[in-house]
Amino acid sequence: MNVLQAIRYTPGDSASLQILDQLQLPHRSEYEDIPSATEGWAAIKEMKTRGAPAIAIVAALSLAVELAHNDNIKSADASKTKEHIQARLKYLVTSRPTAVNLEDAARKLSALVEAEATKENATGLSVRQTYIKASEQMLVDDVKDNEAIGRNGAEWILKHVSRANKRGANVITHCNTGSLATAGYGTALGVIRALQASNKLSHAYCTETRPYNQGSRLTAYELAHDKIPSTLITDSMAAALMNLNLNDEDKAIDAIVVGADRVTANGDTANKIGTYSLVPIYTYANLYRAVLAKRHGAKFLVAAPRTSIDLTRASGKDITIEHRAPDEVILVKGPVFDGTNVQDEAVTVSTAPRGINVWNPAFDVTPAELIDGIVTEAGVVEKDESGNFPLSTFFGN
């Protein structure tokens, strides 16, 4: 099976970076060259590349490519090179505000070049090489981390929902958290991939995820690509799906698995708009099952790398939620379908009157109390007796 690749990077003197333009998916697979941090910033802002881990990696590598080719920088000394890198990282962080992964990467990369530049024998070249090596490592580490998230999350679901262990899990996911949102494999979609790999997936449902349609355009594309048993639903169908199957042991939903853009110290989780609205539905469904049927309820699992955890922010109230352009809600872009064939050229159609007020937050915050588990590459945490997620254990504390 050919692997879906959102990020293509070639190292060395003629380093290059290409991103799969996700605005064109699922109809076209087109790669775009990203020769500098300026193009990296624009691709992230326009959401040609998206997903918290992918944003951080594309930003870091876009600067690596810029450093490999910019002659002015090549001739600069250690201190000037460091200043250039730190200024460009600060600029890249302004592209999108909610996901913490980019901020986290910029802070770590900035500290690394600071340390290198203060060495006695530091040169412009050594500072540049320190940066390039560390940003290239991010691409490698992300795939390994996602595979571990997948394993940990799959094991946790099978341990906590016995009917899933018996007949394979039925899961719902929201937005796109797969190979397209990361360096490969995915976070929440990585959990689904791991269930499938161990023959423990019964069925995966993906929501459309309005307004950008990451679910119908991207997750459905990945699920079909990997031949994973799956069904697409609109966001508004999730309640009906869960209620309909509530008392059918074979079809009951066992877990809702979502990604995260920022998890604060208390476990509150910012994720794609619509995540929070899945929770009351599932809570109600669980309550109903518990009272009437005394059976296992479904679990709500957040799957993310540790770089999505922000212990510096106390709660979801401290998260900046990105608001995007009204046109993303009003306009739909895609190729014309003539009843038989999908045409080559994309058109844009309007689904609402021009001039209507639009509210378009890209993310919502799910309160920690409604989440059952948070899975990272380092394991899974559940709430302790006082209702807190011991997130610091992920960092060895």
Ligand X SMILES: CSC[C@H]1O[C@H](OP(=O)(O)O)[C@H](O)[C@@H]1O
Helix (H) or strand (E) holding 207: strand 201-207
By the 8 A CB rule, do 366 and 276 touch?
A: yes
Least Å from the CB of residue 51 to ligand X:
4
The two three-digit tokens of residue 73, written as one number: 């920088």
Q: Which is nearer to ligand X, 168 or 215 (CB)?
A: 215
Least Å from the CB of residue 360 to ligand X:
12
Kindly state whether residue 182 participates in binding ligand X, applying the rule CB under 6 A.
yes
Kindly state whether residue 177 participates in binding ligand X, applying the rule CB under 6 A.
yes
Q: Which is nearer to ligand X, 360 or 388 (CB)?
A: 360
Residues numbered 290 to 349 that lie near ligand X (CB under 6 A) are none
Q: Which residue is nearest to ligand X (CB)?
A: 259
Q: What length is written for the chain?
A: 397
CA dihedral 126, 127, 128, 133 (to 10 degrees): 80
Which of 24, 86, 202, 214 binds ligand X (CB under 6 A)? It is 214
Q: Can you tell me the distance from the alpha carbon of 56 to that of 49, in angstroms, rounded to the nearest whole number?
A: 10
Q: Which is nearer to ligand X, 242 or 257 (CB)?
A: 257
Which of 211, 259, 267, 297 binds ligand X (CB under 6 A)? It is 259
Residues numbered 48 to 87 that lie near ligand X (CB under 6 A) are 50-53
Choices 33-41, 177-185, 325-333, 366-374 (CB under 6 A): range interacting with ligand X: 177-185
Number of residues that bind ligand X (CB under 6 A): 15
Least Å from the CB of residue 41 to ligand X:
15
Kindly state whether residue 181 participates in binding ligand X, applying the rule CB under 6 A.
yes
Q: Which is nearer to ligand X, 122 or 183 (CB)?
A: 183
The two three-digit tokens of residue 318, written as one number: 């401290």
Other beta carbons less than 10 A from residue 389's beta carbon: 24
CA atoms within 13 A on the CB side of 229: 12
Q: Which is nearer to ligand X, 84 or 96 (CB)?
A: 96
Active site residue 104: no
Can you tell me whether residue 347 is helix, strand or coil? strand
Which of 187, 219, 230, 266 binds ligand X (CB under 6 A)? It is 187
397 to 11, 303, 390: CA distances (angstroms): 36, 20, 9
Residues numbered 113 to 142 that lie near ligand X (CB under 6 A) are none
CA dihedral 189, 192, 197, 199 (to 10 degrees): -170
Among 226, 254, 261, 310, the active-site one is 261
Kindly state whether residue 95 participates in binding ligand X, applying the rule CB under 6 A.
no
Kindly state whether residue 173 participates in binding ligand X, applying the rule CB under 6 A.
no
| Residues annotated as catalytic (active site), given as ranges | 261
What residues line the site for ligand X (CB under 6 A)?
50-53, 175, 177, 181-182, 187, 214, 259, 261, 271-272, 362
